[in-house]
A and B are shown apart, each in its own frame.
Chain A
Amino acid sequence: MVQLKSDNPSFVLHGIDNVKYEDRPVPEISEDQVLIEIAKTGICGSDVHYLKYARIGAFVLEQSMCLGHESSGTVVKLGPKASKSGLKVGSRVALEPGVSCRVCLHCKGGMYELCPDMSFAATPPIIYGTLARYYVLPADLCHPLADTVSFEDGAMMEPLAVGVHSVHTLGKCQSDQNVIVFGAGPVGLLCMAVAKALGARRIIAVDIQQERLDFATSYVATDSFLPPARGADEEPTAYTNRVAELIFSTLDIPARGKGSIDLAIEASGAPTCIQIGMHVLKPAGTYVQVGMGHNLTLPVPFFDVITKELKVVGSFRYGPGDYPLAISLVERGLIDLKPLVTQRYEFKDALEAFETTRAGKDPQGKPVIKCIINPPP
């Protein structure tokens, strides 16, 4: 029997740039839920966005909300119906922080990520987040971690599951396929890692920052591409066509047939990447949009979509089977998450983690991929 601490220090957002450490009550659990003592928490671009804007699209901060949703921890208490899940006190788990209703058509149909009544950590109107000591989740949303998988790896299962959902579940990436990934930030890198783990032949990283491309090729990418700047008087269409042609010629990639690009993952949200991605895909190829950019109403080259019969798919968070596969790929050594943890912070310095992530570099000039925050002591 684990002795629970009586306090629950939490990192709470009150408004734009307004965060406070609060001692919130230790949550009660019931039925099929478990209480988790948080071990590690990663920071995502969305967390930073809430700090800076107190909203993302239609999700608007209305009450003070604890931040954080990428975490791992230890089970310290089980609800009366939670033991069916196989979890025990002391189980090391990765948290899947989205509780869906279970009973709607989407939930029962195997696409719970689309549930309209989803309660997601650190997303309004939910007031709970994982940057705290304790967190409550239904037992089936706590995924066991093997002893060889660290808590830091565990905390990264959340963004890795996003990568799995985009590349594997929706992108249906197969062994020996050629994959192009736009955006070499954390999500893009994780998508590349999944593609490699699934046996992709070529993984082409595309970014506008050479530094990020260098990291990508040192990590998992087989090729990288830095698009040239658009000419001052160059028409957008002409520009994207030119860039597509450059990709084909400099990387020796045909437009169709053996060696052509099967799958395009868009992880930047940038409009030009969307167009370039559809230009370079082979006929009947798959285009997955996971990156959420600033402006989400964008021109799309429908000529390519129609004449090449492209499959264009939106990817949102993760669904059934994504966490288990993510954990499996790491456990089997097919994905190494350690190079992606670039900064570590104590709980009391959490705000610094946010600022660094926003800046893209820490005060020492080291680029940021993923900041990990320790739990409250």
Chain B
Amino acid sequence: MSSALAQAPEALPNPPTFKPKNNPAFILHGALKTSYEELPVPDVGPDEVLVEIKKTGICGSDVHFYNTGKMGLVSCCGAMCLGHESSGLIVRLGANVAAKAVAADKASDALANGKADKATAQSVVGKRALRIGDKVTLEPGVTCRMCHDCRGGQYQICEHMAFAAYPPFDGTLQRYYKLPADLVYPLPESVDLVYGAMMEPLSVAVHAVANVGGLRTGQNVLIMGAGPVGLLAMGVAKGLGAGRIIGVDINQDRLNFAKSYAATDTYVPVKQEANESRPEYSLRAAADLLLTCGIPARGPGSIDLVIDATGAEVCIQMGLNAVRPGGVHVQTGFGPPDVQVPMFRIITNEITLKGGWRYGNGDYPLAIDLVARGLVNLEPLLTHTFKFEDALEAFEVTKAGKDKDGNFVIKLFIMAAFINWAKSPAARQYFFSTHFWGPVANWGLPIAALADIVGKDEEIISGVMSPTMAAYSMIFMRFAWRVQPRNYLLFACHATNASAQLVQEGRFINYWYLGGREKKHPVGSKVEDAVGKVKEGVEEAKKAVKA
């Protein structure tokens, strides 16, 4: 905590005694083990404030902790409250903070004396004093202020950083949270609390793009990864007047959203060949990116800045291969700790490679200002909300939404995402394309097969056609999967048909060869067999007579 020779005069926190409500907290005990516990309500130091948390966003790191109980080199040891992207209302001011508010009131009263109305006077007084009831966003990282990095202007890398929901420090998924006064920022009237909770990840993007990346208006930016951080980076780039903003992802839906949100161009990388090494592939993919998007490798129109928000080795390599000579690559995405880079290109083209970690001095104020001025729109990114008592569900939903192997779909999450997509221009384009109507027409086939399974007798099944149809559909399953862009509707159509045809074949075999027919028509089948035998007998007799 900071200290000064000149101590503030004896002052009390405001309010001097504070009667809190209870303080339930969402606690992580270990991987996939959570519970709600009561945590004590902290006392505020002279330079701190107590905030009643109103909104908290969930980040990939929270989910990762929930899933695995660790992140990178850090393990969750013992109970820890989760959450770090929050906004809320100030409910208590520390002694010095309260004194500053009083002094600010006095100063603005003096200014206002007959000359201007008080509100104007208050904003003129300068750094806005914090007051009870203020709507604020939280910067949840408390640093030592004294080390070489804190004093040198890079507090984000302070080795004594105490960060919310980073072991062993409790996070913000509780009712009350305290922070030093300089780490809470008042939100303008026009910015809702729910967007206040998005200032944390937005500040990460601001830090990467503006601070570390040094984006200047008119520059062209390549952003690898269209997840939350990537999308926010695109939003920041747009808000700061970038020229072209190219979003890259392997997921077309994410890119469709990115295009409707802030990207000017999107690109899905070509696939890696079987015998192609990663460095060869990423070089080829980078060249293909430039060619496909019509971007020169150098000079006017080339890529000035790359932000990697994936952490994936191929993406990092791709970005370093696509950026112009003399350009800048900022790494924010977390992936494997060690990654191969195209060093030859870095040297001979004097590429600058920088790490971007969380946010530093000035990033939160810039983020808030970008939103308040309407230069960044956070609304499309808010997919849905949960009540505090449903926090676990929120984690599970976020987890499932990102889990590629998840074979269950949680309606709420998907619905929310789908509705947002359905409203976009990309959706309109889709519903007018053969990409959609082709498969729609094809669905006639599996629907007919299903109707036959349910409603028709085995007698109508052709033992040859069914496996043939199954094989046909399997070929087109592969087609639908491998075509660019991937056609899930067509794939589902043929997968359904292949299954249905195999079921029919199974029914056929069972009916004619495994006694199904006898079971189904015990008398009738015998009669038919008998009739058949008689018929055969008659035919043979006829032949014998003729001969």
Chain B associates with chain A: yes
Give chain A's interface residues, CB within 8 Å of chain B. Answer: 30-33, 81, 84-85, 99, 101-105, 107-112, 117, 119, 125-126, 128, 136, 138-140, 320-321
Q: A109-B362, A117-B4, A320-B153 are in contact. Are A103 and B148 (CB under 8 A)?
A: no
Residues of A within 8 A of B144 (CB): 84
Q: Are B146 and A110 in contact (CB under 8 A)?
A: no
Q: Are A103 and B181 in contact (CB under 8 A)?
A: yes
What are some 9 contacts across the A-B interface (CB < 8 A)?
Answer: A31-B3, A103-B181, A105-B362, A107-B151, A109-B362, A110-B152, A110-B153, A117-B4, A320-B152
User: Which residue from chain A places its CB closest to the CB of B151 in the assembled complex?
Assistant: A320
Q: Are A109 and B153 in contact (CB under 8 A)?
A: yes
Q: Are B5 and A32 in contact (CB under 8 A)?
A: no
Hey, what's the 0/1 contact readout for B133-166 against A, CB within 8 Å counting as 1? 0000000000011111011111100001000000
Q: Are A103 and B1 in contact (CB under 8 A)?
A: no
Q: Are A102 and B2 in contact (CB under 8 A)?
A: yes
Which of B1, B6, B146, B150 is within 8 Å of A85, CB to CB? Answer: B146
Which of A31, A81, A126 is within 8 Å of B5, CB to CB? Answer: A126
Residues of B within 8 A of A33 (CB): 3
User: Which residue from chain B places its CB closest to the CB of A108 in the assembled complex?
Assistant: B361
Q: A109-B153, A140-B146, A140-B151 are in contact. Are A119 and B4 (CB under 8 A)?
A: yes
Hey, what's the 0/1 contact readout for B348-392 against A, CB within 8 Å counting as 1? 000000000000111000000000000000000000000000000
User: Which residue from chain A places its CB closest to the CB of B143 in the assembled complex?
Assistant: A108
User: Which residue from chain A places its CB closest to the CB of B181 in the assembled complex?
Assistant: A103
Q: Are A99 and B4 in contact (CB under 8 A)?
A: yes
Residues of B within 8 A of A103 (CB): 2, 47, 145, 180-182
Q: A105-B361, A110-B151, A321-B152 are in contact. Are A136 and B1 (CB under 8 A)?
A: no
Q: Are B361 and A109 in contact (CB under 8 A)?
A: yes
CB distance from B146 to the nearest CB of A (A): 4
A360 to B152, CA, bound (A): 37
Kindly list the 10 A-B residue pairs having the minimum CB-CB distance in the complex, ordered from nearest. Answer: A110-B153, A103-B182, A140-B146, A102-B145, A102-B2, A320-B152, A108-B361, A109-B361, A320-B151, A119-B5
Residues of A within 8 A of B152 (CB): 110, 320-321
A245 to B146, CA, bound (A): 49
CB distance from A126 to the nearest CB of B (A): 6
Residues of B within 8 A of A136 (CB): 5
Which of A105, A110, A111, A139 is within 8 Å of B154, CB to CB? Answer: A110
Residues of B21-51 at the interface with A, using a CB-CB cut-off of 8 Å, are: 47
Residues of B within 8 A of A31 (CB): 1, 3
Which of B4, B148, B150, B160 is within 8 Å of A108, CB to CB? Answer: B150
Residues of B within 8 A of A104 (CB): 127, 182
A125 to B5, CA, bound (A): 11
Q: Are B146 and A139 in contact (CB under 8 A)?
A: yes
A136 to B3, CA, bound (A): 11
Residues of A within 8 A of B4 (CB): 99, 101, 117, 119
A302 to B360, CA, bound (A): 36
Hey, what's the 0/1 contact readout for B1-14 against A, CB within 8 Å counting as 1? 11111100000000
Residues of A within 8 A of B361 (CB): 105, 108-110
CB distance from A19 to the nearest CB of B (A): 21
Residues of B within 8 A of A126 (CB): 5-6
CB distance from A189 to the nearest CB of B (A): 28
User: Which residue from chain A places its CB closest to the CB of B182 in the assembled complex?
Assistant: A103
User: Which residue from chain B places its CB closest to the CB of A110 in the assembled complex?
Assistant: B153
User: Which residue from chain A places its CB closest to the CB of B156 in the assembled complex?
Assistant: A108
Residues of B within 8 A of A320 (CB): 148, 151-153
Q: Are B151 and A112 in contact (CB under 8 A)?
A: yes
Q: Are A111 and B153 in contact (CB under 8 A)?
A: yes
CB distance from A49 to the nearest CB of B (A): 21
A211 to B252, CA, bound (A): 79
User: Which residue from chain B places its CB closest to the CB of A128 in the assembled complex?
Assistant: B5
User: Which residue from chain B places its CB closest to the CB of A31 in the assembled complex?
Assistant: B3
Listed residue (A84, A104, A108) with the most chain B CB atoms within 10 angstroms of its CB:
A108
Hey, what's the 0/1 contact readout for B71-113 against A, CB within 8 Å counting as 1? 0000000000000000000000000000000000000000000
Q: Are A32 and B146 in contact (CB under 8 A)?
A: yes
Residues of A within 8 A of B147 (CB): 140
User: Which residue from chain A places its CB closest to the CB of B6 in the assembled complex?
Assistant: A119
A110 to B180, CA, bound (A): 19
Q: A31-B1, A103-B2 are in contact. Are A138 and B153 (CB under 8 A)?
A: no
Q: Are A138 and B151 in contact (CB under 8 A)?
A: no
A204 to B147, CA, bound (A): 37
Q: Are A138 and B146 in contact (CB under 8 A)?
A: yes
Residues of B223-280 at the interface with A, using a CB-CB cut-off of 8 Å, are: none
User: Which residue from chain B places its CB closest to the CB of A33 in the assembled complex?
Assistant: B3
A201 to B150, CA, bound (A): 35
